[in-house]
């Protein structure tokens, strides 16, 4: 189940992050691990443990259904499945630091479930200069995703004027991008859409609070 980071697209990922700020990584994580993660999300949903996501941090935190509609649960590493995923992200953190000198200190991530009709309008995950969230990852957990189901991740140019990519949320795929530079949005989905959104940070974790988005 291990992710072989030396062989599996890591060179392309590092080049793309430097050159364009984002990368679409097919088969970043095995189907076995994705299926196990998906099963966790499905049981959290049944147990009512997924909560409406918000925007803004601390005092400014608010639920804004016009901006985002997903339900989330932060990973706490309490299951073996989560530990395996977090270990793989630790390896990725090491590679990013080694090649790009980003000084990433930790990783925080949440499961996200977008039900039919849900979306997340165009936003940035972090504001420049806050030395906060540096690199975003989004792992998709949806087997047999159909092209007409919507729910794509749209990646925009830094000035928001151009659509650079439209990424379908297929199982095992990971979108990776620079959190301060890449505006992005989730188009309305027509089917349940499950992912793990995560952030490498260069300061202490505030897991459970959500960074500004606009």
125 contributes a contact to Mn ion by CB under 5 A = yes
Contact status: 111 vs ligand OGA (CB under 6 A): no
184 contacts ligand OGA (rule: CB under 6 A): yes
Minimal distance, residue 197 CB to ligand OGA, in Å: 4
The DSSP letter of residue 52 is E
Alpha carbons 171 and 14: distance in angstroms, whole number: 22
Pick between residue 74 and residue 99 the one whose CB is nearest to ligand OGA.
Answer: 74
- Show contacts with ligand OGA in window 24-43 (CB under 6 A): none
The Cα–Cα gap between 135 and 114 comes to: 22
CA distance readout (Å), 188 to 43, 73, 116:
23, 20, 8
Q: Which of 153, 155, 182, 194 binds ligand OGA (CB under 6 A)?
A: 153
Instruction: Decide if 210 contacts 56 (C-beta within 8 A).
Output: yes
d(CA 146, CA 213): 28
Residues 130-149 binding ligand OGA (CB under 6 A) are 138
Residue ranges that bind ligand OGA, judged by CB under 6 A: 112, 120, 125, 138, 153, 184, 186, 195, 197
């Amino acid at each position: 189940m291990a992710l072989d980071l030396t062989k599996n697209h890591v060179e392309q990922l590092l080049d793309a992050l430097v050159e364009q700020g984002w990368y679409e990584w097919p088969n970043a994580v095995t189907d076995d691990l994705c299926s196990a993660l998906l099963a966790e999300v499905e049981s959290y949903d049944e147990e009512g443990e997924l909560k409406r996501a918000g925007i803004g941090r601390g005092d400014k935190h608010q639920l804004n259904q016009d901006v985002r509609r997903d339900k989330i649960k932060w990973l706490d590493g309490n299951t073996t499945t989560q530990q395996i995923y977090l270990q793989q992200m630790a390896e990725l953190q090491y590679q990013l630091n080694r090649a790009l000198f980003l000084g990433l200190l930790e990783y925080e991530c949440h499961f996200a479930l977008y039900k039919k009709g849900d979306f997340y309008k165009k936003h940035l995950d972090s504001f420049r200069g806050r030395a906060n969230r540096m690199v975003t990852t989004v792992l998709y957990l949806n087997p047999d995703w159909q092209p007409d189901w919507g729910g794509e991740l749209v990646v925009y140019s830094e000035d928001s004027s151009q659509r650079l990519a439209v990424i379908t949320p297929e199982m095992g795929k990971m979108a990776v991008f620079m959190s301060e530079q890449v505006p992005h949005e989730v188009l309305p989905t027509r089917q349940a859409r499950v992912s793990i959104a995560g952030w490498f940070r260069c300061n202490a974790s505030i897991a459970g609070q959500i960074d500004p988005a606009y």
